Structure 1
Amino acid sequence: MRSARHGRPIPGLHSRAFIMSPTPGFVAVPAAVVAELQALLGPDRVVTAEAEVETLSKDCYWYSPVLKARLQERRAGAAVKIATVAELKAVLAAAYRHDLPVTVRGGATGNYGQCIPLCGGLVVDLTGLDRILAIEGDVVTVEAGARVVHVEQAVRATGRELRCLPSTWVKSTIGGFISGGSAGIGSITWGGLREPGTIKRLKLLTLEAEPKELVLEETDTLRAFHAYGTNGVITELQLRLAPARRWDQIAITGPDWAVVTAFARRVAYDDGIPKRLLSLLEPIFGASFKPLRTWLPAGHAFIWLEVDQTATDGLAAEARAAGLNVAQIIPYHEPKRQPMLMEYGWNHSTLWMLKAHPGHTYLQLGLGPNFEEQAARLQARFPGQVHLHFEFVRGRRPTGEFGLVIPVLIPVIEYVSDAHLREVIAFAESLGIASNNPHTCYLGEGGTTPALQAQIKLKAATDPKGLLNPGKLKGAAVPPGLAEAMPQFLEV
């Protein structure tokens, strides 16, 4: 047999294979293995048709032109759809026997290519593993494939709510959010997902001859958090909940960026206002939000707020007194009804803008308390190229104490070249702005940390052949012959 590089079969795999991609390092799924999987799951849940495998091999990586250029040809050799943990164990055991890379897929709403296989093999779709197992007090126990929207609706029916959820909550799975996400709606109060106490327990399966269940508790769960499924397949989660509030939604606009920003700052830093969302956006974003255009006067910057209904009247009056326009108040309703401002914040803002402005991309930047000055200097250095969108999250002070408000800038920027992206990021960092590079699908490309080392150590124990989403976790072993097949991304 020949090398698997450039789409050729690799040693140990049968020559009769479903070879669907010529990308370097591609590992095909042999016909005999397809038949074995069909015997386990039934023919309807083993996918080999090229168009469907292509769909199941992709996420929202196209937000980044860097990722799009390097990942659009990458795909699996086949995909399977799982409905039970027992089925998942059997599939993982088969992958281990046949040396097949395994990439786990949830709702595929990630933006970094988290669930795009770099070297073929199997995509394992977990959306059928979707039971809500228990809601007991302030803890929900749920299978990894459950959609976030269904979990939120179920817990709200008991007087609780998720501490943090993504703007993609309708499509996202809860396991995918934990495996590939970091923050979202609610983070202005509760912080990111990695804050101790939010994730109570994770159950994982190892990828071995006989897959084992591993249980991680409390802070130990961070070893598998935001690991892209590289060091264990999450099957079940326990998350702590918050008391449910009656959230009103408020849209506030104004023609003067400084006045709108000052109001956003005051609300963001006021701990006395219960809030779940605060988004601050420049006028250009408003023209992209087609369903909301009638609310948003041309040339107005705007704020999205989701606040406890007890704060609504006071905030509306304060905004009007500051000369701002209260464009819309959407009273609390259970269940939520359209329009939902949360679906026009976070990376949904980016989605709407990229659709309206081809040739643009985005960054993820953490600013300081002087965020207005930092953002102004960034725009001055790259005039007309950087469009401002802020979210606000709760984090930790240098002392380790929780409660620091962190302005997060998710600017949409004109894409000129990879070198230009590096220049923008380097200048931002020279201003004291922290950058989380969204133009790579590798964890740890920015350098090693204790958290990364803990993830690598877990992978060594759970994935002895290095078959789980190989290549995504920098510093971890990959199967022989595949290391040189991995694409290079934007290194900063």
Structure 2
Amino acid sequence: MNARLPQHSMAIDWDAVRADLHGLNLITAPSQRKQLSKDFYWYSPILTAQLADCVADLVVKVSTEDDVRQAAAVAAKWKLPITVRAGGTGNYGQCVPLEGGIVLDVTQMCRVLDLAQGRIRVEAGARMYDIDMAARETEQALRMWPSTWHVASIGGFIAGGFGGIGSFRHGILRDAGNLLRARVMTVEREPRIIALVGDEIQQVHHAYGTNGVILDVEVALSPAVEWVHCTALFPTYRGALDFGIAAQDPSLDIFLLSTVEARFSPYYTAMRDRFPADRHAVFTMVSPDSMQDFRALAEQHGGVISIAGTEAELLAEGFPPAYECAFNHTTLQALKADRGWTYLQVAYAQPFNPEVVERHLAIFGDDVLQHQDFARANGECGTFGILLVRWKGEEHLSGVMREIESQGGSIVFNPHVVTIEDGGMKTIDEQQIEFKKRSDPMGLMNPGKTLGWKPEMAQER
């Protein structure tokens, strides 16, 4: 793949473009443009090499809808690629401009617009953590968020995410009732605003910002709970997985449930002796009302609770919250110490059979470390793996993926590609492509990220 296709910028009069963008906050310095053209794709050695030279020609920082309208109109006038970004915590190069052009930074669009019982409406650049803190002032909380929620924005989470912390309790983002409303600005010479309600939001969810600029969103809230962050230790990884399955009992109120094998222990330095190298860990967030039954269930499966406390209590003792020990934070913990690792994402057939993981442990040895997250989708429990893989080159990584899928019952979501379809969706979402024809008729938004858009689809507007 040619990561950067410069045809859009060859004949552009950038002085004239900047004049058309008068009044906006423009970033032209090469170092800042480079920084704001990257996300966490460095988890992947493949993407690190592919995307190294992908840099925006201009970064535009917007703070109002009028700013977005002006930037979108200018992009349409000059036929400039336009890529939206905020926190930049995605792992797949979602907000990396493959063809240069404009990067539209929406981090200053971070206002809470409305807060009521069961819902909150916020601008797309608002950080997930700040949204949750606002909701907690009314004794409510977000239903789910990524492990990078201190930096990640709500717009980025919806445009590039799938689920996260809280998905064990509330399902994945696309499940009914989680996403309520969204407003999207089109990229045309005369931009329009399109309002989406309920299931219509799927037209922009997990579309990598290829079909309109998300301005604001309304998401569901639930009553706030002071979760108990627990670490349960088990002598075998099979025991940890069996406990994870048993903990899916609907009588237990659990927000997060993840298993991490013992070989991760050296990378969890902040856990100290609470995650020793000879024990496998289950990281959870449990309702106080369920703690007694949770402890009893852990003991029945040969487990021992090594940590149990609120987030504030853990932080006061120097321990990380449970959500920083799960999801892709496991990969981050390892990469902090050893950049010789990368990762793969796996979805397992349900009902989940732990023997699949045991086979992988035997086959891959020290090349692959196991970590599973439990979640719900459409009301049914699902099991997903974020596996730590020793980087030995692209051929070796491809061999690991082939071996996992050859055994049947497991699907690899490849995090080392930049397109929506190659990464996880596997098929083109025709609904999203049809919406792109309405919202981005010239095909300017984040080009190269969806296989469903063909150049001949572009129309002048």
Q: TM-score scaled to structure 2, two decimals?
A: 0.92
Length, aligned pairs only: 451
Deviation at 1:63, TM superposition (A): 0.8
Does the 8 A contact of 1:83 with 1:128 survive in 2? yes
Q: Does 1:309 align with 2:293?
A: no
Does the 8 A contact of 2:421 with 2:428 survive in 1? no
User: In the alignment, what sits opposite 1:207?
Assistant: 187
User: In the alignment, what sits opposite 2:384?
Assistant: 408
Does the 8 A contact of 1:223 with 1:451 survive in 2? no
Aligned pair in 2 of structure 1 residues 49, 479: CA closer, same or farther (>3 Å)?
A: farther
User: In the alignment, what sits opposite 2:240?
Assistant: 260
CA distance in 1, matches of 2:83, 2:286: 39
User: In the alignment, what sits opposite 1:453?
Assistant: 430
Q: Does 1:148 align with 2:131?
A: no
2:323 to 332, 342, 345: 342
CA distance in 2, matches of 1:382, 1:448: 26
Aligned pair in 2 of structure 1 residues 353, 332: CA closer, same or farther (>3 Å)?
A: closer
Q: Which runs of 4+ in 1 moved over 4 A?
A: 5-12, 332-338, 446-451, 478-481
CA distance in 1, matches of 2:313, 2:259: 25
User: In the alignment, what sits opposite 2:17?
Assistant: 33
Does the 8 A contact of 1:371 with 1:407 survive in 2? no
- Which segments of 5 or more consecutive residues in structure 1 lack a partner in the other structure? 15-29, 396-401, 482-492
Does the 8 A contact of 2:12 with 2:78 survive in 1? yes
Aligned pair in 2 of structure 1 residues 447, 275: CA closer, same or farther (>3 Å)?
A: closer
CA distance in 1, matches of 2:157, 2:335: 22
Structure 1 vs Structure 2 CA RMSD: 2.3
2:77 to 93, 97, 100: 97
Q: Which amino acid in 2 is paired with 1:344?
A: C
List aligned pairs for 1:11-160, cutoff 5 A: 12-14=11-13, 30-37=14-21, 39-41=22-24, 45-160=25-140
List aligned pairs for 1:339-418, cutoff 5 A: 339-368=320-349, 369-395=351-377, 402-418=378-394
Deviation at 1:357, TM superposition (A): 2.6
Does the 8 A contact of 1:466 with 1:479 survive in 2? no
Percent of aligned positions that are identical: 36
Does the 8 A contact of 1:287 with 1:293 survive in 2? no
User: In the alignment, what sits opposite 1:25?
Assistant: none
Deviation at 1:215, TM superposition (A): 0.6
Helix, strand or coil: the match of 2:366? Answer: coil
User: In the alignment, what sits opposite 2:440?
Assistant: 463
Aligned pair in 2 of structure 1 residues 89, 318: CA closer, same or farther (>3 Å)?
A: same
User: In the alignment, what sits opposite 1:22?
Assistant: none
Does the 8 A contact of 2:8 with 2:99 survive in 1? no
Aligned pair in 2 of structure 1 residues 446, 261: CA closer, same or farther (>3 Å)?
A: closer
1:128-187 superposed Cα distances (whole Å, 9 cap, x missing partner):
000011111111111000000011111122122111111000000011100111110110
- Which segments of 5 or more consecutive residues in structure 2 lack a partner in the other structure? none
Does the 8 A contact of 2:314 with 2:321 survive in 1? no
Aligned pair in 2 of structure 1 residues 277, 49: CA closer, same or farther (>3 Å)?
A: same
Aligned pair in 2 of structure 1 residues 55, 32: CA closer, same or farther (>3 Å)?
A: same
Aligned pair in 2 of structure 1 residues 363, 9: CA closer, same or farther (>3 Å)?
A: closer
Q: Which amino acid in 1 is paired with 2:454?
A: A
Aligned pair in 2 of structure 1 residues 334, 82: CA closer, same or farther (>3 Å)?
A: farther
